A and B are shown apart, each in its own frame.
Chain A
Amino acid sequence: MGSYLLRRLLIAIPSLLGISVVLFAVLALAPGDPFEELATNPAVPPEVRTALRTKFGLDDPIAVRYVRWLVAMLGGDWGFSFVSRIDVGALIMQRLPTTLFVIGSSQLLAILIALPVGIYAATRPYSLFDQIANAFAFVGFSLPTFFTGLLFILVFSIWLDWLPFVYRSDISATGWQWYLEHARQAIMPIAVLALFQAASLTRYVRSAMLDVIRLDYVTTARAKGLGERVVILKHVVRNALIPVVTLVALQMPAIFGGAIITEQIFRIPGIGSLLISSILANDTPVVMAVTFVFACLVVIFNLIADILYGWLDPRITFA
């Protein structure tokens, strides 16, 4: 297992480097001057601009610029926001936990829905339950998250007035009230993301289960006189989980996309909405840093998936 982990780590590093090259290439190829914002700012005289250009090595050869940029990124030196003058690193750290909280909870909820439904549907393929679950799954991942979000707001905030639709991280309440308020405002964005995820996850769980159910060792398990329930839950699920885990991690990039949208709709102060607002404000350092953070998160989650896979499949652990 140790050597497997080491190998996966060693693969993750070129991955991250590769992504950083792509990001940097995009930035370098982009026309326009990242500092043109400052050009229109009367408070910044031209000499300061030139000095900044030299400081950031904008006139150096591209390879040097890349290395310098990469070192800065990895070291956490992400510059300062053009708009708010706050250190970008601090800005992101402030908002990252909220995003992680929403993504994490929605994933958990999605798994809690998808696992039982997918498993049960696989044990009774083509039954009524299976067909209904399948139809729901299709509807679930065909509904764009922004539409679901708007629908939820329409129904639960506007018509029923049960849930607030603007997220506030500072709630003036204590104890149970505080938790309740937090829960009330977090339910909708989490539900929107969870529904979308649960839809595709259910189909994958079902598919993975069906792939395993027809294998020889399941027949062996039945031939041992174990009840069907034990056969499914102990022998089939344990094996079907392996590809599902890999899939959850591989879908991470898409989930971040969904998080960006829900943060916009529900005005959640996470890094997704930060990305959008900084794009609209032409705040390049923030845009680059947030994109880089997203890329790192993807690599981290892929690594986590690899670790989980290695742990779940003894053929890898005990090669």
Chain B
Amino acid sequence: MKSGVGEALLEIRGLKTHFQTDDGMVQAVDGVDLTIARGETVGVVGESGCGKTVTAMSILKLVPMPPGRIVAGQILWQGRDLVPLPPEAMNDIRSKQIAIVFQEPMTSLNPVYTVGEQIAEVIRRHEGLGRRAALNKTTEMLRLVQIPNPQRRVHDYPHQFSGGMRQRVMIAMALSCDPKLLIADEPTTALDVTIQAQILELLHDMKSRFGMAVMLITHAMGVVAETAQRVVVMYAGKVIEEAPVAQLFGQPRHPYTRGLIRSIPRIDRAAANRSRLETIGGVVPSLLRPPPGCRFAARCPHVMAKCRDASPPLLEVGRGHKVACVLEQPEAVQ
């Protein structure tokens, strides 16, 4: 299955990650297909709770496994299935092949070790460098992410950095072993608006320097429009649309995607029309006992009887454009 830019690096097929809770089995991710090619930036969008973070955590098997479990599916990394991989092999992949940056920079760093120690730790683990060499490389990485005065700052503790700086540190840490894929899970959500732009700019710079593939998870459509080459839209644990970025914003096919795009506040339009902010009525269905049919049925303005029968499969409707909607099925190209 080719997606355009390069060979497939990561192929997720039919991933299902469920969580055992007191009230029952929560089907957080329920049949997700996703592909990322070498050097590609894929944006994964959807509202809170749609399963984007769980998908990302499942890739690196960071989901807490007592309540969580990957119950089905394959995660193929360069052809190798990660799901049955034992922990030792998984540890070789983490941060070396696939790295991740989390949402909350304020709590993602260990408060009792210096920033330099925490970055050097990764480098020594994967690159086998000695203390001094690792420290030098660490300082270099800090300089790359534009932390001023890196030789001194490398010996500082996380609490001596601001939120934006800490996120830079996290990015430096993630990229220090030159991974092929960087997963950025809402990297700017917890930061001020002005810092958000800086961090996105930084990610862009790092991408041109290192050339890694990026899986950018966010709920902000505006961010995706600027940075991604391809977009995957998730809803209630499933992928409901996937397209190259221009096509997604130009011709969104799924009613949910259309609703998402329409709901982006547009200063120019609103000022002209004085119209209200568009919303999608209703709420996300419970993932404990999801409805049998399409999960968007309850909120869809075009819902039909057929929608409630079975969950529509993700089918290709154009070049690289896939949709999971009954409305689009007659046009489906098998």
Contact = CB atoms under 8 A, between A and B. Distances in A.
A223 B184 CA distance: 13
Contacts of A314: 111-112, 157, 159
A217 B109 contact: yes
Given A223-B62, A228-B87, A215 B107 contact: yes
B10 to A, nearest CB: 16
Contacts of A228: 87
A221 B96 CA distance: 13
Q: How large is the interface on B (under 10, 10 to 19, 20 to 34, 35 or more residues)?
A: 20 to 34
A224 B107 contact: no
Among B93, B104, B112, the most chain A Cβ lie within 10 Å of the Cβ of: B112
Contacts, number: 72
Interface in A244-264: none
A75 interface: no
B328 interface: no
B126 interface: yes
Nearest to A316: B159
A220 B109 contact: yes
A225 B102 contact: no
Majority SS of interface residues in chain A? helix
Contact of A223 (B99, B111, B160): B99
Interface in B104-145: 104, 107-113, 121-122, 125-126
A224 B173 CA distance: 9
B100 interface: yes
A216 interface: yes
Contact of A224 (B113, B125, B160): B125
A296 B125 CA distance: 48
B94 A223 contact: yes
18 contacts: A215-B107, A219-B108, A220-B109, A220-B170, A223-B62, A223-B94, A224-B121, A224-B122, A224-B173, A225-B90, A225-B125, A225-B126, A226-B91, A227-B88, A228-B87, A235-B110, A314-B111, A318-B157
Closest A-B pairs by Cβ, 8 of them:
A225-B94, A216-B107, A225-B91, A217-B110, A314-B157, A224-B122, A225-B95, A216-B108
